[in-house]
Structure 1
Amino acid sequence: MICEHLKESGEPAPLSAYEDGCPQCVADGHSDWVHLRVCLTCGLVACCDSSPRRHMSAHHAESGHPVMRSFEPGESWRWCFDDERLG
């Protein structure tokens, strides 16, 4: 069963290009991000939980935005932080 957040999530334009890496990591002088994610509420691009600084999880904790999707080329899966569901 899919959660309501996943069903209702939009698809905003990413606020940065994939090739630019995790904007927060880059701004702090880091290049060790692993994978990128995009927030489906606001379009923020940030690094995944396998990355040292876990910026997408931090974004969810600060903003409450529930759904992100993979920003990796060829991937389109989504994750709802609130319901801990993949979609």
Structure 2
Amino acid sequence: MSDNAGAVPDIDPTVPPSGTGCAECAADEGWWVHLRRCTACGHIGCCDTSPAQHASAHHRATGHPIIRSFEPGETWFYDYRTSDFVEGQELAPPTSRPSDQGSPAPRDRVPDNWRDLIHR
């Protein structure tokens, strides 16, 4: 039996997340609704409800197909190739954004009319 027994393709459980918020939104003073973690490289991007949709843009740019929710209490995995939820394995910590960070975030950048600006 190999050392990779039980491993899921496209998931590297040793890679930590890139940060506690969307990498691109943080760089361009944006904001997000929810966060998603790339299971191949740890990139944290904003969800498709968020204005910029950086998690799915990361998938399109890199081909990394599987994300995991980076929200407290959520443990689901999603495969962009099949547009379906999939099974995954435990990832390197932390497994979510800080619970006191809130959503949407960062608080000081979220406009008052944020609900009008999201994708539904």
TM-score (norm 2): 0.60
Matched residue SS, 2:61:
helix
Gaps of 5+ in 2: 1-7, 87-120
TM-score, L = length of structure 1: 0.82
Instruction: Give the letter aligned to residue 18 of structure 2.
Output: L
Asked if 1:78 is matched to 2:101, the reply is: no
> Which residue of structure 2 aligns with residue 25 of structure 1?
25
Identity of aligned residues (%): 45
Bigger strand fraction: 1
State the Cα RMSD in Å: 1.5
Structure with greater proportional helix content = 1
Alignment match, 1:13: 16
Matched letter for residue 82 of structure 2: D
1:2-24 CA-to-partner distances (Å, cap 9, x unmatched) read xxxxx4323221111x2xx2121
Runs of 4+ in 1 over 2 A off after TM superposition: 7-12
Q: Where does the alignment leave 5 or more consecutive residues of structure 1 unmatched?
A: 1-6
C-alpha displacement of 1:83? 1.2
The 2-side partners of 1:67 and 1:85 are apart by 10
For the pair shown, the structure with the greater C-alpha radius of gyration is 2
**1:19-68 per-position Cα deviation (integer Å, ceiling 9, x unaligned):** xx21211211112x000000000000010000000000000001000100
Cross-structure match for 1:3: none
Aligned residues: 78
